[in-house]
Chain A
Amino acid sequence: MDIEFLSSTMVTLLKALPVTLALFALSVSIGCVLALVIVWMRVGGNRYLAGFAKGYIFVFRGSPLLIQMFLVFYGLAQFDFIRNGPLWPLLREPFVCAVLSLALCTAGYSAEIFRGGIRSVPPREIEAARAIGMSGFLLVRRIIAPIALRFALPAYSTEVVLMMKSTSLASLVTVWEVTGVAQRLISHTYRTMEVFLCAAIIYLVLNFIVLQAMALLEHFLSRHLRAAPPAAKA
């Protein structure tokens, strides 16, 4: 083990950490909001919106992110109306394009995960809510979402971790985050395993933190499924 090499590699990789974190935080939050909109279209009952949502989920779940990112970054810019359009100053930026394609992709996945959660909500409890006059957003916010969230959480935490790893594709569009820097380092040093090991440790730590946070949330949301706590007298 070459400790000196490992530590200098670590330092180089950690310098790219802010880029990875920024990509992650932005794309997960934007993607989550987008996913909510899409799942709402999907189960909302309007045939056209549902069709659109189905198509969206199909395309973004169905094709590799690598191809999506390539087409968003290199493909969109092929069109003159985009290059001359008002959004070009934004779309011109590699970072914006990377976040955009990451968010679009995770939205497709998350929408499907949320839908799975919604399916697990006991129909009887939905009925009880309808019977007191709840419907639409109120019903979703008060009854469906909390229960569905609980059921969707294990799968969603997986998706969030996946996003952390997917940020590594951003180097394709010249955004040099941790994995990209690692690969560049490898092509200088050819010490594949050592460099990747350092990168792996960074991702493992990040994802461990994310997963612990999710597990904590899951624990918190499962109160009603656990046995009564000892000495819980009101």
Chain B
Amino acid sequence: MSTLELLGFGSTGWGALLLVAAGVTLAVTAVALLIGAVLGAIVAAAKLSGNRVLVFLGSVYTTIFRGVPELLIIYLIYFGGSSAVTAIGQAMGYEGFLGLPSFAAGALAVGIISGSYQAEVFRGAYLAVARGELEAASAIGMSRGLRFRRIIMPQVLRYALPGFGNVWQLSLKDSALISVTGLAELMRTSQVAAGSTRQYFLFFIVGGALYLILTSLSDQVFNRAERRANRSMPSAMGQV
């Protein structure tokens, strides 16, 4: 069969299946990133709070979820989570097995991991905000929350954007590990296609190319955001 046929959208081509898989990857990653953003912000705030207990808890979170291989966390949440749900079900009189859907378990696992990365990105960006500007905010009586929302957040986003883009990339690729839950995302579908047709290079290259397409789409979003966030900055770097 020719390469074109293999990748086509007809009944003999893998095109449609791969595109759907790319969509699943995108969706899982986006949900995971949202979960991670919330967790990351909370953990970063804890680590910056100066409260000894909170700092410790924050450090435990970032150390464990950055330090333990992703695959283990996915296993824990997918299988462990299922056992927990089953136990609860049986306690309530339900016979047999219950489980977390693969999508939910995968998004949750990748989200928890990405939260630990995002916490560090946010923390680094917070430290880059000029102290004087924070003081100016305090001086007009901005409450902690307001100061955070009006002065810190916009600037943290500006400084965090490159790192945030990195985390997005990471999560995009961590989502490939969800394949152990049987979710038909891009990585698994490429491997299935490769194994079913024995065209390993073709489908790995096509899979890689699809990841690159996802990347370039998201890069465009991030570039636009960066340009917007930096319009108030003088550009000393570009000069002599």
A residues sitting closer than 8 Å to B (CB atoms) are: 43, 45, 58-59, 61-68, 70-71, 74-75, 78, 109, 112-113, 115-116, 118-120, 122-124, 126-127, 130, 135, 151-155, 157-159, 161-162, 165, 168, 179, 192-193, 196-197, 199-200, 203-204, 206-208, 211, 225
Contacts and interface: CB of A to CB of B under 8 A. Distances in A.
Nearest to A65: B173
B204 A119 contact: no
B212 A62 contact: yes
Contact of B234 (A123, A179, A200): A123
A40 B201 CA distance: 33
Given A63-B211, A67-B205, 15 more contacts: A43-B237, A62-B211, A62-B214, A62-B216, A64-B187, A68-B208, A70-B204, A71-B204, A112-B166, A113-B162, A122-B130, A151-B128, A155-B120, A165-B69, A211-B66
Contacts, number: 143
Interface string B67-97: 1111110010001000000000000000000
Interface of B: 63-64, 66-72, 75, 79, 117, 120-121, 123-124, 127-128, 130, 159, 161-163, 165-166, 169-170, 173, 176, 187, 200-201, 204-205, 207-208, 211-212, 214-216, 219, 230, 233-240
Chain B at the A interface: SS class: helix
A126 B237 contact: yes
A105 to B, nearest CB: 10
A200 B215 contact: no
Nearest to B173: A64
A64 B211 contact: yes
A180 B22 CA distance: 28
Contacts of A118: 237
Contacts of B66: 158, 161-162, 207, 211
